[in-house]
Structure 1
Amino acid sequence: MEGKEEVIQAWYMDDTEEDQRLPHHRTPKQFVSIDKVAELGVLSWRLNANDYENDEALKKIREARGYSYMDIVEVCPEKLPNYEAKIKSFFEEHLHTDEEIRYCLDGSGYFDVRDENDQWIRVALKKGGMIVLPAGIYHRFTLDTNDYIKALRLFVGEPVWTPHNRPNDHLPARKEYLDLLGKKSAAGGHQAIEAH
């Protein structure tokens, strides 16, 4: 399904302390292409969220990438126990030792990732958008002002949702991610990680 930009957009963030759920555009706005986000190792797709149970494209991605585990989470004040504390903890800058895969089935939210110069890029995910954050990338998550996302979480094997708050540069996953970034920039910055 084409038209990824309709469900996934990205831009450089300002550094104000305003509500984390606001867009935080810089002035003037600095949008970032999906290709630029892909150079950081973040993969993305636009899929059919209205029929995700029968979506052949999702099945192919799961098979190709070994995503055997799947569940659905709803993040909103009504459905998530300890909502305020949880949303605050999701927004702490952290990394994981495995990929983080999120497929937005409804609602919307922001995944913030660091670029190669440690600048925040905000990735807005809407219904139908799926992203994979590579192991070792520093990131954080927040809802937008709609206060609701329903997301399919995928995982290779048994899920481990452990966040390692920054700094955790000693972890092998972080070193491997930085090596990957280094190789990409040495290769001219535009080598796809799809086959990774």
Structure 2
Amino acid sequence: MVKCWYFNDDGTDQRLAHQHDPVQLVDLEKLTEKTGVLYWKIDADNYENEGKLSEIRKERGYTYMDCIECCPEKLENYEDKLRSFFLEHIHADEEIRFVLDGSGYFDCRDIDDQWIRIQVTKGDLITLPAGIYHRFTLDEKNYIKAMRLFVGEPVWTPINRPADDHPARKTYIQLANDNFQQTISQSA
């Protein structure tokens, strides 16, 4: 099961857990309520036969998928890529990731502009809504293999903060003001 907590920005290595003392945990219901992020647990070793990923893809219109491995041996310009993934940004479309192996962290801004750190591990599938400020980093294991899913053709363009005038951000803010009811009902 995914673990989430409020991020403690103590200036140390981004790949560390960055938890407050005591830890300020965020449960899944609160995560969705505060960010619109959706989560599913899927059998990463048997997802083709399990059928859950197929159902989610069909329901949400995810038509394109590929896989990426992030580690020093497999990702060209690894250090530069890791730094760029950790820059705060939005996308015009949802960001969907299914962790096939390894682990890492997605950080998302909640509706109060506080960072929530989401630890993803094998079997976790998360959907970050279009327009949410977020970033990604590996953890200290320096390895993740993830399936990237998209509605239609993939769009890789990050829009760095500030992007408050971007249409996706404005829509996101409206959904946040409506307490993400549309997002929550779509995941039910």
So what's the TM-score if we normalise by structure 1? 0.92
Letter matched to residue 31 of structure 1: L
Letter matched to residue 19 of structure 2: H
2:72 alignment counterpart: 77
2:149 alignment counterpart: 154
Offset at 1:71? 0.4
Deviations 1:169-188 (A, max 9, x none): 1110000000000011xxxx
- Note if 1:132 corresponds to 2:123: no
- Note if 1:179 corresponds to 2:174: yes
Letter matched to residue 15 of structure 1: D
Counterpart Cα distance in 1 of 2:49 and 2:91: 29
Unpaired segments ≥5 residues, structure 1: none
Q: CA 1:152–1:194 in 2, change beyond 3 Å: closer, same or farther?
A: farther
1:10-159 correspondence runs (5 A)? 10-39=4-33, 40-159=35-154
Offset at 1:113? 0.3
- Whether the 8 Å CA contact 2:85–2:137 is kept in 1: the answer is yes
Offset at 1:117? 1.1
Offset at 1:191? 7.1
1:195 alignment counterpart: 186
Report the 3-state secondary structure (helix = DSSP H, G, I; strand = E; otherwise coil) of the residue aligned with 1:175: helix
Offset at 1:194? 3.8
Number of matched pairs: 186
Counterpart Cα distance in 1 of 2:9 and 2:58: 39
- Whether the 8 Å CA contact 1:43–1:194 is kept in 2: the answer is no
Counterpart Cα distance in 2 of 1:31 and 1:43: 17
Report the 3-state secondary structure (helix = DSSP H, G, I; strand = E; otherwise coil) of the residue aligned with 1:28: coil
Counterpart Cα distance in 1 of 2:7 and 2:181: 23
Counterpart Cα distance in 2 of 1:191 and 1:162: 25
1:170 pairs with 165, 169, 178, which one? 165
Offset at 1:128? 0.5
So what's the TM-score if we normalise by structure 2? 0.96
Unpaired segments ≥5 residues, structure 2: none
Offset at 1:100? 0.1
